[in-house]
A and B are shown apart, each in its own frame.
Chain A
Amino acid sequence: MEIKDHINIATDFSDHPGSRYIEDGAFSGQDFLEKILLPRFEKAVRENYLLEINLDKVYGYPSSFISGSFGKLSIEKGGELLLKHIVLISNDNPLNAEKINREIKNPKK
């Protein structure tokens, strides 16, 4: 499958992600999911291509942000489908990609 779309979290969303819900404050996981991740992911599934997500140059990935975006999407769409259409790039800290992959595979506690 070919990579046809890219999301750079630091430049397309924010370099300082927030918490879980929109009502908690700015740059929440829910905000990222609804505005960026979900529409781009659905398009990637529809047109059968890979969506590359760059995780670099961000101040940190709080668990509530990851759970509120990738975790929530994994519950809604299924982890397998997510892993099939998403490629995570994390050159600064490979642990970030690992952390998100773990969340996608196992979003529940």
Chain B
Amino acid sequence: MRKRTKKERRERYMQARARYEAKRHTKKWKNRKKRKAIRKIKKIRQAKKLPTSIIAPSNFSLIENAEEVLEYFKKANKLLCKGENVELDVSNVKQLTPPTLLLLVASINDHDFTQESIVSGNAPKKPELLKLFTESGFYDHVKTNGKFKSSKENLLNKQVDKIVVSEIVKEASIIGIKHVFNRETPFEPLYEVLLECMSNTNHHADLKHKGKCRWWLYTYNIPNKKITSYSFMDLGVGIFKSAVVKNYLKKYTKGTFLYPNIKLVDDLLSGKIQSRIEKDNEIRGKGIPQIVNNSKRREFKSFYIITNDVIIDLKTGNRKQLKNGLRGTFFYWEIQN
């Protein structure tokens, strides 16, 4: 290729410069700059506001104390929506569990939860809970002044781009298999459950906000016990909210007192809830039944699903309607030897 002369290079530069100058004089450009400046001012004003401190329930366990924990997050979200800054005070909690920790980190990183406001917080005072907090990798996902080292025994993953990352599923499986069974050979039911949880996120994703963080996974080896816990959360709209109900009456009363979500649980567990994704619909709907089926195995010590305003215990089949719902879907289980 012929090398451009100095004059040609200069001409090209001047043309590019002229295009840029013309762009800068457009209304679109000016409005964008104006919006950016307003956003900056708003941010400075927001940062000057004193936060409202809300004290976390003493039993900060999403599974054992779902109602109170979800109410806590709802309260925080309400304040944030009003434009207030919030301080999540977890200093005096007596119990903190891995699923709650995951819900906490996922919420703080979710713009729908924080809006334009600022969320700050502290750490539990109780030494073993503080250890869980620091070693979990929580601080890798929030802004902090301190330096905290996460443990290699645990894994906290966030996924934005891909729906299913089988490498992460494999890695999370191996962490649990090594800790619980003291081996590295596959434990297929665990791998399948993890992967189907991820797959499931696509069905219930918020279709208006593509490209947003899709799911969080926290793998936690319980110290001194041959138990590993898995907490998986997708930030979609929840299974029941996205469920396609063909019956007209059910369709319009779904989620209300006339036809509460709890009535759809059996259909959900047997794969009868139709996916809103139309492609290959006739061969879909086997993921949740596979999760349910695998959860019945002895190696699964416990297994819960929380979605919208329902909590389901897959081991016992018990289900409960919650007053305070969860946006998205939460899976929690423990494996044992």
> In whole angstroms, how far apart are the Cα atoms of A57 and B191 in the complex?
13
Q: Which residues of B contact A59 (CB under 8 A)?
A: 169-170, 173, 186, 188, 191
- Once bound together, how far apart are the Cα atoms of A24 and B190, in whole Å? 20
Interface residues of A in 40-62 (CB under 8 A from B): 57-62
B196 touches which of A15, A26, A62, A108 (Cβ 8 Å): A62
A62 and B199 contact, CB distance less than 8 A: yes
Q: Does A94 contact B (CB under 8 A)?
A: no
Q: Does B283 contact A109, Cβ atoms closer than 8 Å?
A: yes
Q: How far is the CA of A108 from the CA of B188 in the complex (A)?
A: 23
Closest to A25 in B: B164
Tell yes or no: B8 within 8 A of A by CB. Answer: no
Q: When A59-B186, A71-B283 are in contact, do A24 and B290 touch as well, CB less than 8 Å? A: no
User: Which of the four size classes fits the interface of chain A?
Assistant: 20 to 34
Separation of A18 and B167 alpha carbons in the complex (Å):
9
Q: Chain B contact residues (Cβ within 8 angstroms of A): what range?
A: 20 to 34
Given A24-B163, A25-B162, A108-B282: A64 in contact with B186 (beta carbons within 8 A):
no
CB within 8 Å for A24 and B170 given contacts A63-B286, A108-B282: no
Contact yes or no, B284 A67, CB < 8 A: yes
Beta-carbon nearest neighbor of B191 in chain A: A60
Of the candidates A16, A62, A65, A93, the one having the most CB atoms from chain B within 10 angstroms of its own CB is: A62
Contact call B283/A19, Cβ cutoff below 8 A: no
One of A16, A67, A96, A108 near B170 (C-beta < 8 A): A16
Residues A27 and B166 in contact, CB atoms below 8 Å apart: yes
Q: Is B280 an interface residue (CB 8 A)?
A: yes
Chain A residues whose CB sits within 8 angstroms of the CB of B170 once the complex forms = 15-16, 59
Q: Which chain B residues in 192-230 approach chain A with CB under 8 Å? A: 192, 195-196, 198-199, 202
B162, B165, B192, B282: the one contacting A109 at CB < 8 Å is B282
CA distance A23 to B318 in the complex (A): 36
> Is A79's CB within 8 Å of the partner chain B?
no
Contacts of A15 in B (CB 8 A): 170
7 residue pairs bridging A and B, Cβ less than 8 Å apart: A14-B166, A25-B164, A28-B164, A64-B199, A64-B286, A67-B283, A109-B282
Assuming A14-B166, A16-B170, A26-B167, what are 10 further A-B pairs, CB within 8 angstroms? A19-B198, A20-B199, A26-B162, A58-B188, A60-B190, A60-B191, A62-B199, A71-B283, A75-B283, A109-B285
